[in-house]
Amino acid sequence: MELPMKVVVIGGDAAGMSAASQIKRRIKSAEVVVLEKGVDVSYGACGMPYNIGYKGDIDDLVVLTAEDFKTKRGIDVRLLSEAIGVDTKSKKVFVKSLSSDREYELKYDKLFIGSGAKASIPPIDGVDREGVFTLKILDDARKIKQFIDEKKPKKAVLIGGGFINLELAENFKRLGMDVIVLEKLDDILLNFDKGASDLAKEELKKNGVEIICGVNIEKIENDLTVKTDKGDFEADIINIAAGVKPNTEFLKNSDIELENNAIVVDRYFKTNVDDVYAGGDCALIYHRILNKNVYMPLGTNANKAGRIAGANMAGAKEEFAGIVGTIIFKVFEKGIAKTGLSLKEAIDNGFDAFETTIEAPITAHGFPHQGKVSVRLVAEHDSGRLLGAQIFGDAEAVWRIDVVAAALYANLTIKDIQGLDLAYSPPFAPVWDPILVCANQAIKKVKK
């Protein structure tokens, strides 16, 4: 009688649980063990800032609990269990139980690594003080909510000007706090063009959030005063969001190939080692436009990587179509979205590219609510091939980014975009949708 396949999954969030679930669906006899360092699995991390601001129950963000996976899907989920090493020659994972301090080994036939990423903490004296947080995992949100309930902070300093802290800024304001965002670089949202960052700064300022760029932070005092080269800032609560880095230290002595600490995978999410797969925030992922692997830690990417890797571990041969880097987020009443490449990214990667930007109404002429949105399309001069877009303006309008993301997947040109049959109804869009208006202007710059 053939023994069941033994699978070990490292990491219990989006990628790991997607892979584990896919394997069990396809091979019901498989023994699947998931090792999760924390106390939660399968949760909506992107909802954490809003859960804090709206005073929701933190468990509302949990899709399935560890017990649900055990009883409903037959997956052995082990919480507070940290993978501390991997021996790919003997096919063993070395595990440390954080609840008992016991170490043990797990044999596997196939291994999936979805260990995620961890917050990058800048070398600032005082980052370990009570009241200083990072918001990366669900337990971080749980601790922030508890601190707010107990301490009732009135002043928040947010270190880092990315979209996590901008979302937190909105939600801390909702809780009645004074909020200051300190950014070390010369501007916020450097993955976006200046128009988008200017809109975000304007909306934050309008809602009472102060933003200071080009700040060097020297230390955080005992009383949570943040000392910088641009003055001292008093705080009752501090959040640091200065990027993330792959959580792969435990692989340093293994044969698994890393690139800038991220796991190298192919389009089947295989690593360079037989029977070892990886995906999510700890790994690279294939970018369709650039035709190469990139590091882009997003929940959407992690879920897709886990599902396809799990299917392939169970015997399928599914090739990943790739990402185009679609991002969307909200700042108070404004929305900001991007897909594909910015003009700078396109030029830096060797494309002969141009951009076209328009501002247009989001409803028909004469409709009572006449909001506006800016659309920026990036394309190749010679072929007119679409390379990317940014859309920013009234929050209810930036969903249009999905139209452009689909166009990027289909490898459409500006001429193709110009001919799209987009919906028209006065409450939803003018007869010429802003995307079409932008394409009509962009076509004039295409050489062929």
Q: Do domains 121-242 and 335-445 have the same CATH topology?
A: no
**DSSP 8-state symbol, 150:** H
Environment class of residue 346 by beta-carbon count within 10 Å: exposed (0-12), middle (13-18) or buried (19+)? Answer: buried
Q: So what's the pLDDT on residue 447?
A: 84
Q: In the chain, where are the structural domains located?
A: 6-118+245-313, 121-242, 335-445
| CA–CA separation, 310 and 377 (whole Å) | 36
Q: What is the CATH number of domain 121-242?
A: 3.50.50.60
Q: So what's the pLDDT on residue 2?
A: 55
213 is catalytic: no
Alpha-helical (H) ranges within 9-154 are: 14-26, 48-53, 66-73, 138-151
Residue from 46, 213, 282, 438 carrying the catalytic annotation: 46
**Most distant pair of Cα atoms in the chain: their distance:** 74
Please count the other Cβ atoms lying within 10 Å of the Cβ belonging to residue 228: 18
| CA–CA separation, 71 and 77 (whole Å) | 10
Please count the other Cβ atoms lying within 10 Å of the Cβ belonging to residue 364: 16
Q: So what's the pLDDT on residue 1?
A: 40
Q: So what's the pLDDT on residue 3?
A: 65
Bridge partners for 378 per DSSP: 355, 388
Tens digits of pLDDT across the chain (448 residues)? 456 899 999 999 999 999 999 999 999 999 999 999 999 999 999 999 999 999 989 999 999 999 999 999 999 999 999 999 999 999 999 999 999 999 999 999 999 999 999 999 999 999 999 999 999 999 999 999 999 999 999 999 999 999 899 999 999 999 999 999 999 999 999 889 999 999 999 999 999 999 999 999 999 999 999 999 999 999 999 999 999 999 999 999 899 999 999 999 999 999 999 999 999 999 999 999 999 999 999 999 999 999 999 999 999 999 999 999 999 999 999 999 999 999 999 999 999 999 999 999 999 988 888 899 999 999 999 999 999 999 999 998 999 999 999 999 999 999 999 999 999 999 999 999 999 999 999 999 998 6
What amino acid is encoded at 189 in this protein? L
Name the CATH code of domain 6-118+245-313 (choices 3.30.70.100, 3.40.640.10, 3.50.50.60, 2.40.70.10).
Answer: 3.50.50.60
CATH C-level class of 335-445: alpha beta
